[in-house]
Amino acid sequence: MKDLYLILLITSLLGGCYVEPDAPPEFPVGEVQGYEPVYFDGPNAGIAFGTARSLSEPGKIYVYKTWLLINERYQGIHWFDNTDPSHPRSLGFLSIPGNIDLAVRSGILYADHLGDLVALDISNWQAPRELSRVHLASWKANLPPEGRRYFSCIDPGRGVVVGWRLTTLHNPKCFH
């Protein structure tokens, strides 16, 4: 009988640990902080190496061998000769529409391209060659980076979502 009371006591105490999940909030009228999608809006969705250009919205920086690679948010990668780190020399720009992230290992550049993950052979850095690609369907790029936030709903007619930007929204209709 004593064991039965102990089991009932433990069961009743554990039952008090359940926390009801948060219900989705009501949608605000007016302004609220949230995410808006960044759409790819360029004329060409291909990956190509071209002439150097100036930095305007730099992102991640990566050093590999004697190269210094600097991401230009949603556009591609600036390529520098970093043999003399006090005087890096611009070599060109690798256009990768939608790119915000990169990594290099064993001569392979991994980068996001319009929501896909591509692997590029950069042994000839002026003519990178695509080796493989993981398509958008395998990713969750159509949701903002943080949960429990308002966001502007995606409009497929505006193109491919390549990222999200935290901003002030007016009367948002989506929440995640």
In a domain, 60, yes or no: yes
Of 20-34, 54-68, 90-104, the least confident:
20-34
Closest C-alpha among 95, 89, 127, 90 to residue 111: 95
In a domain, 92, yes or no: yes
Name the percent of the chain lying above pLDDT 90: 53
Longest dimension (CA), the chain: 84
Find the CATH number of the domain harbouring 95: 2.40.10
Which pLDDT score is estimated for 66? 96
| Residues with Cβ within 8 Å of residue 98, at least 6 apart in sequence | 40, 74, 112, 113, 114, 115, 160, 162, 163
In a domain, 54, yes or no: yes
Query: Tokens 């071209």 map to which residue?
Result: 50
| Residues with Cβ within 8 Å of residue 14, at least 6 apart in sequence | none
In a domain, 74, yes or no: yes
Q: Which domain holds residue 60?
A: 44-135
pLDDT in tens, 57-80: 999 999 999 999 999 988 999 999
pLDDT in tens, 140-165: 557 887 778 899 999 988 887 877 88
Which pLDDT score is estimated for 35? 93
Strands 31-39 and 150-151: parallel
Q: Band the pLDDT of 137: cuts 50, 70, 90.
A: low
In a domain, 68, yes or no: yes
- pLDDT at 112 > cutoff 60: yes
pLDDT in tens, 32-60: 999 999 887 666 678 999 999 999 999 99
In a domain, 117, yes or no: yes
In a domain, 111, yes or no: yes
Which pLDDT score is estimated for 141? 59
